[in-house]
């Protein structure tokens, strides 16, 4: 499994987490506001985690490319 496959697997898991959190938020908005707010937070955090994982992967890729040039 190469780096891209691993990133895609991580992204898929984060997407699942985000989608589940959004569903929970929609389903509980009128019955349990605390659960709804928590699931909304999870959704936002999942999006931030995805961005940071890809930023980190890009940095690692740049470092490896730079080291290969030297």
pLDDT in tens, 9-67: 999 999 999 999 999 999 999 999 999 999 999 999 999 999 999 899 899 889 888 88
Residues in the chain: 70
pLDDT at 1 exceeding the cut of 80: no
Q: What is the pLDDT of residue 4?
A: 80
Q: What is the pLDDT of residue 8?
A: 87
Name the residue ranges covered by the structural domains of the chain.
Answer: 3-69
What is the spatial distance between Cα 23 and Cα 6, in angstroms, rounded to a whole number? 26
pLDDT at 70 exceeding the cut of 90: no
């Amino acid at each position: 499994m190469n780096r891209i496959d691993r990133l895609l697997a991580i992204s898929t898991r984060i997407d699942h987490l985000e989608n589940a959190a959004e569903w929970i938020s929609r389903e509980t908005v009128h019955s349990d506001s605390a659960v709804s707010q928590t699931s909304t937070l999870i959704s936002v955090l999942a999006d931030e985690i995805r961005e940071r994982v890809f930023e980190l992967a890009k940095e690692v890729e740049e470092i490896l490319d730079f080291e290969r040039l030297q």
